[in-house]
Chain A
């Protein structure tokens, strides 16, 4: 598989796994408005993933479809960051995970909208509109958690503390990413990181929440070394395809 396909998969797998985690909450939102809002974000992300998988299939020229790539790989072939596969616990946790990813996507796609790769440039520009809204929504929630009650602020801080170790991986470029940087295809993750840090600080300041000091990073997702949750998640995701291969409806 060429480097570009692998880089595409990093983007698509992040969107796919995060979308799946959000879709697990469908019909379980705390109230109707939030239920719809959360599933809207899931739909935007699955749309993004689908477009990128289809393009990866085109590039790969192995006769497979985007669906084959999405549903017919083994765990070690998925390149999503560990953050996206962390299981849902409470609402503060789900929203904090979302907030970290929204900030990341926002600056990643801002950078990619000047990529030398035509497809990435186009998909980044399109996704940026969606992500801008996602980020607005999750930022507003973080501010309300922090400024809400003692319980909401405590839960948000707990979520931040437990997810923090997974955020470093977002900015660790894979070998393919670095290779593609030379031709200005991929985004400069150092730049994305400094913008991400600024935005996180800004929202945490408004929300009166604290950045953890521990900078330990859990890595592995981009190389296909996933957490124990990934297998269970894929069992769900791939169930239909495994049980009824080539099913059509």
Chain B
């Protein structure tokens, strides 16, 4: 089939309160079918309790030529990690 519709990126939340994680992508002609296709392709084995689909062409990404100016300045700033603090016992996700 030549025209499978535009590409959608799929994000799955595995448990309440957890962040949505990128799972992959699907083709679909519109948003209702995109979310159905995402359910059928990516949540068949209990992977999630919630889904997002996002039109792939709406995602703004950093191009590879920009990556050094974007990310390398953080390389030598370990003090930005919260590892210098004692976490309260109740905190599970950090």
User: A residues engaging B (CB < 8 A)?
Assistant: 30-34, 36-37, 40, 133, 136-137, 140, 144
Asked whether A33 and B44 contact (CB < 8 A) given A136-B36, A137-B36, A140-B36, the answer is: no
B32 proximal to A (CB < 8 A): yes
CA distance A230 to B44 in the complex (A): 31
The smallest beta-carbon distance between A181 and chain B, in angstroms, is 36
- Which residue, B26, B36, B39, B40, has most C-beta atoms of chain A within 10 A? B40
CA distance A31 to B33 in the complex (A): 13
Please indicate the chain A residues that have their CB under 8 angstroms from the CB of B41 in the complex: 32-33, 36-37
Asked whether A40 and B1 contact (CB < 8 A) given A33-B26, A136-B36, A140-B36, the answer is: no
Range of interface residues on B (Cβ < 8 Å) = 10 to 19
The smallest beta-carbon distance between A146 and chain B, in angstroms, is 14
The smallest beta-carbon distance between B45 and chain A, in angstroms, is 11
Q: Which 5 A-B pairs have the closest CB atoms?
A: A33-B37, A37-B40, A31-B4, A30-B1, A36-B40
Decide if B40 touches A31 in the complex (CB within 8 Å): no
CA distance A133 to B39 in the complex (A): 10
- Of residues 7 through 66 on chain B, the ones whose CB sits less than 8 Å from some CB of chain A are 26-29, 32-33, 36-37, 39-41, 44
CA distance A30 to B40 in the complex (A): 15
Decide if B44 touches A140 in the complex (CB within 8 Å): no
The smallest beta-carbon distance between B68 and chain A, in angstroms, is 36
26 A-B pairs (CB sep. < 8 Å):
A30-B1, A31-B1, A31-B4, A31-B27, A32-B27, A32-B41, A33-B4, A33-B26, A33-B27, A33-B28, A33-B40, A33-B41, A34-B37, A36-B40, A36-B41, A36-B44, A37-B36, A37-B37, A37-B40, A37-B41, A40-B40, A136-B36, A137-B36, A140-B32, A140-B36, A144-B29
**CB nearest neighbor in A for B3:** A31
User: B residues engaging A (CB < 8 A)?
Assistant: 1, 4, 26-29, 32-33, 36-37, 39-41, 44
CA distance A142 to B39 in the complex (A): 19
CA distance A133 to B40 in the complex (A): 10
The smallest beta-carbon distance between B8 and chain A, in angstroms, is 10
Please indicate the chain B residues that have their CB under 8 angstroms from the CB of A32 in the complex: 27, 41
CA distance A36 to B10 in the complex (A): 16
CA distance A77 to B35 in the complex (A): 41
CA distance A136 to B13 in the complex (A): 22
The smallest beta-carbon distance between B26 and chain A, in angstroms, is 5
The smallest beta-carbon distance between A177 and chain B, in angstroms, is 33
CA distance A31 to B32 in the complex (A): 17
The smallest beta-carbon distance between A196 and chain B, in angstroms, is 22
